[in-house]
Every structure is written in C-alpha cells, then in structure tokens.
Structure 1
Amino acid sequence: MIRYPDRALRTIGVTAPSSGVSEELHHLLEGATAQLEKQGFAVKTTANAWTQKEAKSSPAAVRAKELISIWRDSKVDAIIPPWGGELLLEILEHLDFRKLTPKWLLGYSDISLLSLAVTLNTGIATAHGTNIIDLRGSETDPTTACWIDVLSSTKTSVIKQVSSEKYQKSWDHDKPTPAVFNLTEPTVWKTVSGNAERLEGRLLGGCIDVIRHLVGTPYGNVEAFRKKSIPDEPVIWFLENCEMNTADLKRSLLQMKYAGWFDNCSGIVFGRSEANEPVQGYTAEMVYQELAEQLKVPIVYDADIGHQPPQVILVNGAHALFHVDDGKGRVVQEFR
C-alpha cells in the first residue's frame, strides 16, 4: 500500500539535497519565503539552502544529514527544496530510508530522483511539481497553485487538475511577471495516436535525465516496489526531458524498458521540452511513436510537466486517470 502524509500544512521546510542558492541569488529564496509567510505558512530552512559550491549545496553526507534532520522535525509538515541541480545522486548512499515517515516532498528536475527513490524504497507518496523559488511571485497561475491542494491533502483525497491555458517557452529573467512565469504559448497536450486517450494506473516518474541513473541500483528496484506496494496494478509513467537529444532520450527509455520498468505499464505521459534536439532527422515524435508501438500503450506528450512551466502536480504512488482530448488534459488523482 502507498503511505500518504496525514497532517495539516502549516510549516514548510527548505533544504538543498542537490543545489542550494548562492549568495548573489539569496534574494530569490528570500522572496519566496516572504510570499509564503504572507500566505500564512511558516518557513524553516537548513544551512545548505543558502550555499552553493562545486555543483552542489554542500558535501553529500551533509546534504543527507540535513535532509533527514528536517524530515524528522515534527514541526515541519512538508519539504520543498529551492530547486534542482546536478548531483543529488551522491546522497542516496548516505540516506537511511527507514528513518523516513510520511511527509510531503515536492520538487522537480534533480529533486525528482530523490522523490522517486523515496517512493520506491518506502512506499511514501511524493509530489512532482514546482520548486520553492518559483513561488516567490505576488501571484500564482492556476496550474501551479494546485501545489497547496496536494500538500494539504491526506489519504482518501481526490485531486482534480486540468491542463494550463498557456505555457512558458523559455526563461526570460529580464521580463519578470507577478506570477514569475511568462506564460505566452498556447498549451496543447498531444497523443501519438492523434485520438482522445484515457490512461489509468499508479503514477511513477520524474526527470528522465536523472531518474534513469536509478536503473540497476538498490534504490531503483521498481519490481520490488510493485510487489510490496501496488501488487498487480498498472503504472502510468510521467517523464520529462531536461537536456537530452533524441538519441540519448531513446537510449534512456530502452534502458528503462530492458530493466523491466515498463512492465505492466498502462501508458506514458511526456512533458514539454525545449531539449529533444533531433539527431539526423530523428525527432522526439518518432521516439514516442516507436515506444508506443513497442509497448502497445497510449502515449501523451507536451503535457504540463517539467522545465517549461507551469506544471500539474503529480504524486508518485497515487492512482490516476488521465483524459486527453482535443489538446486538453484532465488529471484525477486518488490517494488510495
């Protein structure tokens, strides 16, 4: 069974298991903290949320220690790191997953590696979506705003979300908006089949650039997780590509397939990406088509997941229904 957090959302913990915030960018984290406090939340940060050196916030053992410390802090109701980074993988060998009790963890990019590892090794539900830096605006778009609904939820909750109206094509820090994001491009969720699709199953996923590195490690035993936590239930994988070209994307998907990650898969949802650079005319759409034919499952792409915000908030372990039709998407998650 999946273990869902069951506590009111009052205090948010901020720690940096991947990258922290360097001194010249402290104003971003300060702004996010101030906005959250205006909304009535308390915010508690660890020391490494404010440091960054050599591609990480602090040494691996320190990051693990600070993560466990704030996770076990009874006054902290949810953990939202500042943002992703590069080297979260380093901390896994320093974590004792047995010390983790149900508490919400929210983030994406490199943080999704931690989220997936936590769910696979403990059965604790974790959330994929916005980081705390992107909550610094005086306004929040309706898609991103659902983070509060999810992190305020408990077991038996039902969360309904719809696709965004517009998305941000690329980051333009010289043109800040009250909601942080520059949402200018019409959102269109697509399907490989070109038809309406319905996907149902348990959610697992994250940024494929990093979660692929769990394959073949003690921290990425999807088969054991299935047997213990979701026996005989199909999985919907949600995946997003941050930096890979299409050949690297295909290799990564094949590695996951060969490792059995796509066994009993009921569908895959890919997020929008400004990566996916074609290799000799080999496009992302071709990758999706081939995968759909190989796995014989529906595939949705250009969904609100990943590095082209906004993002729907998806919960690893939750039961989900995706309905995609005429460019629009609906997601219903049940915490059961």
Structure 2
Amino acid sequence: MKVAIVGCGGLGNVHAGAYSKIPGVTIVGVCDIDANHLSKMAQRTGAKAYESFDEMLEQSGCEVVSVTLPSHLHKPFSIKAAQAGKHVICEKPIALNLEDAAEMIRVCEENGVRLFIGHVVRFFPEYVQMKNKIAQGALGRIGVAHLKRIGGHPGERRPWFKDEEKSGGVVLDLMVHDLDFLRWSLGEVRSVYGLRKLEGNVDYAAATLVFESGAVANVEAHWGYQGPFTTAAEIAGSEGLIRSDSSKSVSLQIRKAAADNAKGPFVEVPQSPGFHSPFELEIKHYIECIVENKQPIVTAQDAYKALEIGLAALESARTGKAVFLNNSAQEVSR
C-alpha cells in the first residue's frame, strides 16, 4: 500500500511513524508549504518531497492520503484527494461545519474511496476498556459521567489554533474527542447545554449532554491550563463506578459495589493501558479496513455526529439555551 502525507507538522510525523511500522506500507510522497518541515519529513521517511499537492497526487502513485493539516483545510484537501481516486485518512475534526463534513462524505462515496477520521480516543486502551465495561453491563444502568481534557494552549506554538475560523477552538479541536467517546459508549445525545469562557490565553468550555437513554454527562475542555496535559473520566451506573485519570500512575480504576461480606465499600481493579501507541493502532486499523474492505471502528458518520454535538455546545454557549438534536434523521446521504 502506497501512502502520501500532506501536512508535515506534529501529526504528520505521528502518521509517518505509524506507517513505518506497518508491513507492506510505503510512504511515497510528503507535502507541505513549510520547506523546513517538508525537508525533515522527506529525510525521515525517504519519500519524495512535493511542494505541490496536485503534483503529489498525480506523480507519487499513492493510494492513500493522510490529511494532517489545520482543521479548516481538511475539506478542500480531502475532496481533492478523493477526486483523484485516493482513500483519505483525515485528522479530526472532520470539518468545522456540517455542510463541509457532509460534502466530504458525499464526494468520497461518489468517487468510490474510503474516508477515515482520526478520532484516536477510540484506540486508547483505557477508553476501550471503559466502553467495553459499559457494553457488558458491568456498571448497570449508566446514570452520570464526568470527563475532562485539559492542557496548555497549542496556539502558543501554532498560532492558527487561536483563530476560531481555522481550529474551531477548544470545543471542536479538544472536547470533540470526549464527545465522540461518549456517543460511542452511551448512545445518541438528546440535548446539549454549553458554557464557554474566552479570555486572553484561556479557552475553557463545559457541556452537559443528556442522552436518549436518560444518562447525563458533564464534559470539560480547557486550553490555557497551567499544569500538565491531563485527561480524566468517571462513569457511574447503578451497579458500579469506573474511573480513568492520566495523572495517576494507574490509568484505570473500576469500583464495584461491595458484597455484604466485604470489608470495605468498594473493590478496586487496576488495568494496564498497554504498550502500543493508539495512533499506530488507529492507522493500522484504517489500512486493514481498506485492504480487507471492512467497516472501521469509527466511521465518517460518527465523525459527523461528534461535530454536530460540538457545534450544538457552541451554539448553546452563545445563546444560553439548550440545543436539542434530531436523531431520527437519516445518515448523510450517499
């Protein structure tokens, strides 16, 4: 499988590293407008460097294109790759509005190519374990979830993150990870109420999601936090509680209601997060989906829905009113 990468920054290098570990995959082209980034990526991968994306599509012989560009560029580059007959692995969010996301999905389908979106949290072992415990009924009926994702402002090193029209801000770039995970684990979202504070170098958002099942989730996302990047999740059900906190030495804790003869109220069962990079697991899975023509763990439709929830949180934060989602609508048309 011959792949090409457009965007030679941080995530471009992450994709390159993942491809290098997949047997049968060769990086045949890399592209970026930053000559320094482009040169370093070409040297690292041994792939030909292209200043022109069109030339890379025409000349490299690639079958798959990784789109690891700023979010506002996801649509035009994904569509151009699809129209050239290339499968697309695009970073999240799928786009910054639903119209663009729908067009990406439609154009890929019309050109007979696959579209994969990098919602990598579905490949983090601790989140997979939480999802599986919920699906297995280990926690009983889910009542309340609390999730957070906080860290420094990426705009300090990459100014485009501070431009709402290019990044979507903390909600569409960071919170969207947890929005996708929650929908994957708890089902469709009925309503969203959002709050947001933008002040100087702080971009903070909180959202309360009410699910069709009746479960409620509170989600926080924060750029400008002075401490280390941290993620945490706590999901409570009628039969138990599950926790994950990246700041703890143990990544996952499961607390079960104690039996009558137990000495304490809870039993903790720590779990290992594993040793494989979630990005490597994700990229390998998407390549397998192309080769074996199978359904991915996260679909382009899932990415569309995560974006829809994020946009609802932003609309609610603007208006001060809850936003209700229509889950009876059909999938984005083919």
TM-score with structure 1 setting the length = 0.35
Larger radius of gyration: 2
More strand by share: 2
TM-score with structure 2 setting the length = 0.35
More helix by share: 2
